[in-house]
Structure 1
Amino acid sequence: MRIALLGGTGDVGEGLALRWAYHSDHEVVIGSRDPEKARAKAEEYETELSSRGVDRKINGFENGMAADRARVVVLAVPAYHATDTVEEVADSLDEGDILVTPATGMKRDEDGFHYNRPGAGSVTRLVADAAPEGVSAVGAFHNLAAGRLANLDADLGIDTLLVADDDDAKETVRLLAADIDGLRPLDAGGLANAPEIEALTPLLINVAMHNDGLHDLGVRFD
């Protein structure tokens, strides 16, 4: 399957791109508002994979062109850019396409990071509301440490929670997530449950900040 990572030049986009390209046969496309930046990052990812004996072609495009080339589109962008990015690429999305969002709204003060819950209830809900008719939204990959994800020498051994109102779309994303070695996807129900998942991210960051050796903290449910 072809997967477009919009904002694929950032930390989370890098980790997902490398993991899918390294562990699976899925075709990865990098998107950015700056197509030159997307192409440059795609070449960096190819070089990293080549150094590990994996010969994979990764293409980079402007966000709209990247979305046009994929059925699954991951919004690897900050929460405050999520709906803008959906609106930006809406004309490139077809009925049956799937939008995946790992974004969490956060704010920081002297005590640490806190969940910044949007009026719609969650960033995942904002994406679902902005999606064109016939395009489903799935929340996934929220609570992953970007550094651990992008380090192909690191064993993940962690879970990712999935929420969606479209069971078929959720199953598609579950299978994609399961293709990443060491990442276990778990069904967390419908979109109404997204706030509880998104709120875990600032908690994990705060724990990582205050405890040595936990900078790449993840979650595992046993």
Structure 2
Amino acid sequence: MRIALLGGTGDIGAGLALRWATDSDHDIVIGSRDPEKARETAAAYEDTLADQGVDRKLTGFANEMAADRADVVVVAVPAYHVTDVMGAVADRLDADTLVISPAVGIASGEHGLHYNPPSAGSVTALVADAAPDGVDVVGAFHNLAADRLADLDTELDADTLVVGNDEGARTRVAELADDITGLRALDAGPVENAAEVESLTPLLINLARYNDDLRDVGVTFE
């Protein structure tokens, strides 16, 4: 399966790229607005993998080219960029493309971070509204600590909540999440529930800020 990580040069994109490259045989493509940055980042990820004894080839392209013919497109960009990025790649998506949104709207306050959803109600809903008709959009990977995800010397033990209007699409994303060792996907229902899922992210960051022993904290459900 070909997975294109748009904004794959950023924190969450790096973690997902490295984990999928280590734990699966998916074809990983790094996307960026700057194709040269995408190529350089893909090469840097290859070096990181090689240090772990993993021999993998990653490629880097401009976002539009990365999305072209991808089976899965992960829109791993900040919330305020998702509409522009979706508009740029819309003509490269079709009914066979699965789009994943891990972005969260966050505002900074004096004492911490706060959930700041767009007018659509959630970033997942915003991406779904921007996607072409017939393209499934699923929210996932919101609540993962990016540094922990990208540190291949650290074992994961975390859950990710999956939201989307199509049950089959949620199942596909859950399978992709389960490809990553130590990550468990849980079905959180339709996009209507995305705000509750996304709002966990600033809470976790605030916990890490005020508790030294909770750095890179994640969530598990029992």
Equivalent residue number for residue 59 of structure 1: 59
The alpha-carbon deviation at position 47 of structure 1 amounts to: 0.7
Q: How far is 1:69 from its partner?
A: 3.1
Task: Identify unmatched segments of 5+ residues in structure 1.
Answer: none
Check if 1:110 corresponds to 2:110: yes
Letter in 1 for 2:178: A
Determine the C-alpha separation between the residues in 2 that align with 1:213 and 1:27: 36
1:70-108 superposed Cα distances (whole Å, 9 cap, x missing partner): 110001100001111111100111222111001100101
Instruction: Tell me what 2:119 maps to.
Output: 119
Residues in 1 aligned to 2:126 and 2:19: alpha-carbon distance in whole angstroms: 27
Aligned residue runs from structure 1 range 121-200, under 5 A: 121-200=121-200
Match of 1:42? 42
Q: Is the 8 A contact 1:145 1:216 kept in 2?
A: yes
2:212 partner SS: coil
**Counterpart contact for 1:4–1:69, Cα < 8 Å:** no
Give yes or no for contact 1:8–1:32 (8 Å, CA) kept in 2.
yes
C-alpha distance in structure 1 between counterparts of 2:138 and 2:183, whole Å: 17
Q: Which segment drifts farther, 71-80 or 91-100?
A: 91-100
| Counterpart code for 1:19 | R
Distance 1:111 1:18 in 2: 33
Aligned CA RMSD, in angstroms, stands at 0.7
Which residue type is aligned with residue 74 of structure 2? V
1:27 aligns with: 27
Residues 175-208 of structure 1 deviation map (CA, whole Å, 9 limit, x = unaligned): 1000000000000000000000000000000000
TM-score by length of 1: 0.99
Q: Find the aligned partners of 2:213 and 2:4 in 1 and give their Cα distance.
A: 33
Counterpart-to-counterpart distance in 1, 2:21 and 2:29:
10
Structure 1 segments of 4 or more deviating over 3 A?
A: none
Mind listing any 5+ residue stretches in structure 2 that lack a counterpart? none
* TM-score, structure 2 as length reference: 0.99
Shift in Å, 1:161: 0.1
What is the aligned length? Answer: 222
Please give the alpha-carbon distance, in whole angstroms, between the structure 1 residues aligned to 2:214 and 2:157: 14
Give the partner amino acid of 2:164: A
- Work out the CA distance in 2 between the residues paired with 1:117 and 1:95: 27
* 3-state secondary structure, aligned to 2:55: coil
Q: Which amino acid aligns with 2:112?
A: G
Identity of aligned residues (%): 64
Instruction: Indicate the SS of the match to 1:156.
Output: coil
Q: Is the 8 A contact 1:97 1:134 kept in 2?
A: no
Which amino acid in structure 1 is aligned with residue 53 of structure 2?
G
Amino acid at match of 2:101: T
Corresponding position of 2:217: 217
Looking at structure 1, the residues matched to 111 and 209 of structure 2 have their Cα atoms a distance apart, in angstroms, of: 11
CA distance in 2, matches of 1:102, 1:188: 14
Shift, 1:213, TM fit: 2.2
